[in-house]
């Protein structure tokens, strides 16, 4: 299904929430990767209602680099709505999704790009995850469920991905939690899009706090697994 330009244009879609200690380095790295590779690119940063200097720092970077654009949420809406905002604003061929916590380097995109010659979507796979015990259990469980329940692997759905902007902007979904990223992969694979994975580096968080394994998010994701299964197999919606 895929058609690939020799050098596709890239939207670096970066999520940020109270990342004043990390965001400058993350954005500068994205700009450096884009320029060094000679890509037509943009760096979109969605500040999800931060209460620190995250937004102010990105504004300064946007004045310095024409490729950088800040998008702000007036209040904290959560990671999944942050990515929806980023997808909505992306204007290039492919979205490269990442956080600004510096745990996955921006140059990981260059590990994903070569696989586009063989597939439509590439998922980064973190073999060594610098997570606490509880988050390791949660992450492992939600990566195991899709092959069993949906007969579709989502690999490491919670990390960086490279996929067509047109696809993520046109998909439908029912998930209301971070499981939506896995649902997108499930629906894309069932629609005939080829998905591959590639190993990527993952580093310990140096500053800031992670909220990925909050019990309320885990419960919401579990509900969304059921909601998606019903929608796909009982209601048979694509």
**Domain architecture of the chain: domains with CATH:** 10-234 (3.90.550.10)
Q: Which of 163, 214, 164, 157 is nearest to 180 (CA)?
A: 157
Residue 60, CA atoms < 13 Å, CB-side half-sphere: 10
Per-residue model confidence (pLDDT) at position 212: 53
Strand partners, 68: 43
Give CA–CA dist 148/150, Å, rounded: 6
Per-residue model confidence (pLDDT) at position 76: 96
Per-residue model confidence (pLDDT) at position 187: 96
Give CA–CA dist 192/195, Å, rounded: 9
Below-50 pLDDT ranges, the chain? none
Per-residue model confidence (pLDDT) at position 5: 60
Per-residue model confidence (pLDDT) at position 207: 72
Contact 12, 41 (CB under 8 A): yes
pLDDT tens for 68-124 read 999 999 999 999 999 999 999 999 999 999 999 999 999 999 999 999 999 999 999
Per-residue model confidence (pLDDT) at position 96: 98
Per-residue model confidence (pLDDT) at position 119: 96
| Cβ contacts of 128 within 8 Å, gap of 6 or more | 202
Per-residue model confidence (pLDDT) at position 214: 73
The full DSSP string for 116-129 is GGT-SEEEEE-SS-
DSSP secondary structure letter of residue 156: S
Contact 45, 70 (CB under 8 A): yes
Which stretches of the chain are DSSP H helices?
23-36, 54-64, 79-89, 109-112, 133-149, 165-170, 180-190, 215-229
């Amino acid at each position: 299904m895929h058609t690939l330009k020799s050098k596709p244009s890239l939207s670096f879609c970066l999520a940020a929430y109270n990342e004043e200690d990390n965001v400058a380095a993350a954005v500068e790295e994205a700009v450096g990767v884009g320029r060094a590779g000679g890509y037509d690119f943009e760096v979109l940063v969605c500040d999800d209602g931060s209460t620190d200097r995250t937004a102010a720092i990105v504004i300064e970077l946007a004045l310095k680099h024409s490729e950088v654009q800040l998008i702000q949420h007036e209040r904290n809406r959560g990671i999944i709505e942050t990515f929806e905002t980023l997808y909505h604003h992306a204007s290039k061929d492919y979205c490269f999704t990442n956080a600004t916590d510096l745990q996955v380097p921006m140059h990981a995109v260059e590990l994903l790009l070569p696989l586009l010659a063989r597939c439509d979507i590439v998922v980064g796979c973190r073999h060594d995850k610098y997570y606490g015990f509880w988050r390791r259990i949660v992450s492992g469980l939600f990566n195991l469920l899709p092959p069993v329940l949906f007969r579709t692997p989502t690999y490491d759905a919670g990390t960086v991905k490279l996929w067509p902007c047109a696809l993520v902007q046109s998909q439908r979904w029912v998930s209301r939690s971070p499981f939506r990223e896995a649902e997108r992969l499930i629906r894309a694979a069932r629609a005939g899009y080829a998905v591959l994975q590639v190993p990527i580096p993952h580093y310990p968080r140096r500053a800031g706090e992670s909220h990925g394994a909050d019990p309320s998010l885990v419960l919401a994701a579990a509900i969304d697994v059921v909601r998606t299964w019903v929608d796909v197999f009982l209601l048979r919606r694509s």
